[in-house]
């Protein structure tokens, strides 16, 4: 019965020795690399308890919530985050090791961008939670280079530390999602319909356009651009943001047929931005593929449709520019709008000496 007690005593004594060794000395100010303590010692032993992470900087907050084995973004309708990116946050935080004690005077923490609250947005707060209870709350401040070092402190303590390692995770949501929703090569498109006009691919790959509704919203001048831009959009469908889907008063529909699947793109104008909803459905009059490659392709489309259900996605500005010209063209100028009324033309006087 004495052996467990002895073992615990030995471990406790070892921890005390380690704590003494890693304390910065007055002579050097820095702890030897082999004896440094992690800034946040609670992360590794409590990793399985982590259910949420929050990053706060200035007026911005980015939240992650554990959902089974995945991470989701509650502020983006619980869209799925890239697990590897979220794990990078935890790994960067766990890698911070105390090198040197800096100031513990609250009034001077701002010099290291470690004051909190921080209306200037220089400091960053990282909260790791188990339910509602914090496992770790760390203020991240300035970074040093050559050699790399990160200034940081625990939120509940005024002692600032220079730490080995860096914490460079940003609060840009787009960095934590898979920006490429789907890849559909142009050769996999059979036809698509937009603005009352259907475009069909011929055997040689050329597109032909035919009006399929009594009133076609797509002008003749826009058709050549549409048959180039829309296949390009689906060949590499990338996004800049995501949020829960909502209704828009101004939107346009594009229906794409790719063998046994129909892909509906509902594109809405929101200010200067374009937001897109995606729906993938099976065409009941088309047989399911038997070829393995085609089955994989269809499976990827179905999975993309499932992943996109209930969300809408902001298109990159460069893509929105070309699509807006097709889907939301400016109204035509009134006839003779550029002609000034008689008698209102300005009088132009040439400078002296002009020919």
The encoded tokens of residue 275 equal 């937001």
Span 89-137, pLDDT tens digits: 999 999 999 999 999 999 999 999 999 999 899 999 999 999 999 999 9
pLDDT beyond 90 at 233: yes
Q: What percent of the chain lies above the pLDDT cut of 90?
A: 73
pLDDT at site 273: 96
Query: Stretch 168-173: mean pLDDT, rounded?
Result: 92
Task: Out of 6-10, 135-139, 216-220, give the one with best mean pLDDT.
Answer: 135-139
Query: Stretch 198-211: mean pLDDT, rounded?
Result: 91
pLDDT beyond 90 at 226: yes
Closest of 225, 293, 212 to residue 259, by C-alpha? 293
Sequence ranges of the domains in the chain: 25-176, 180-327
Span 235-265, pLDDT tens digits: 999 999 999 999 999 999 999 999 899 999 9
> What is the residue-averaged pLDDT of the chain?
86
Look at 68 and 16; give whichever has higher pLDDT. Answer: 68
Query: Stretch 142-158: mean pLDDT, rounded?
Result: 95
Query: Stretch 194-204: mean pLDDT, rounded?
Result: 92
Structural contact between residues 280 and 302, judged by C-beta atoms closer than 8 angstroms: yes
How far apart are the C-alpha atoms of 216 and 156, rounded to whole Å?
64
Span 23-76, pLDDT tens digits: 443 334 555 655 689 999 999 899 999 999 999 999 999 999 999 999 999 999
How far apart are the C-alpha atoms of 135 and 323, rounded to whole Å?
46
The set of residues, in sequence order, having a beta carbon less than 8 Å from that of 164 and lying 6+ positions away, is 33, 36, 95, 96, 97, 99, 148, 149, 150
pLDDT beyond 60 at 146: yes
């Amino acid at each position: 019965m004495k052996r467990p007690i002895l073992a615990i005593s030995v471990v406790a004594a070892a921890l005390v020795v380690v704590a003494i060794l890693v304390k910065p000395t007055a002579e050097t100010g820095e702890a030897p690399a082999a004896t440094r303590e992690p800034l946040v010692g609670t992360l590794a032993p409590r990793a399985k308890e982590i259910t949420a992470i929050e990053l706060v900087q200035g007026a911005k907050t980015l939240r992650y919530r554990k959902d089974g084995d995945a991470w989701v973004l509650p502020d983006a309708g619980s869209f799925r985050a890239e697990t590897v990116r979220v794990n990078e946050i935890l790994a960067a935080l766990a890698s911070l090791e105390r090198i040197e004690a800096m100031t513990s005077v609250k009034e001077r923490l701002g010099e290291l961008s470690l004051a909190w609250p921080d209306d200037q947005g220089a400091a960053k707060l990282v909260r790791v939670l188990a339910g509602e209870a914090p496992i770790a709350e760390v203020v991240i401040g300035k970074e040093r280079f050559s050699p790399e070092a990160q200034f940081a402190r625990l939120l509940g303590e005024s002692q600032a530390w220079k730490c080995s390692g860096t914490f460079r995770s940003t609060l840009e949501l787009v960095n934590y999602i898979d920006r490429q929703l789907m890849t559909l090569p142009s050769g996999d498109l059979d036809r698509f319909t937009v603005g009352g006009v259907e475009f069909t691919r011929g055997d040689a790959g050329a597109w032909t356009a035919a009006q399929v509704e009594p009133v076609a919203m797509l002008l003749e001048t826009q058709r050549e651009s549409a048959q180039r831009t829309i296949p390009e959009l689906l060949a590499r469908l990338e996004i800049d943001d995501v949020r829960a889907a909502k209704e828009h008063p101004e939107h346009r529909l594009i229906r794409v047929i790719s063998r046994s699947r129909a892909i509906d793109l509902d594109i809405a104008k929101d200010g200067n931005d374009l937001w897109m909803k995606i729906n993938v459905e099976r065409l009941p009059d088309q047989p399911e593929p038997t070829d393995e490659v085609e089955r994989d392709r269809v499976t990827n489309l179905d999975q993309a449709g499932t992943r996109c259900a209930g969300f809408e996605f902001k298109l990159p500005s460069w893509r929105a520019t070309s699509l807006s010209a097709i889907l939301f063209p400016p109204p035509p100028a009134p006839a003779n709008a550029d002609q000034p009324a008689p008698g209102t033309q300005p009088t132009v006087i040439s400078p002296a000496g002009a020919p």
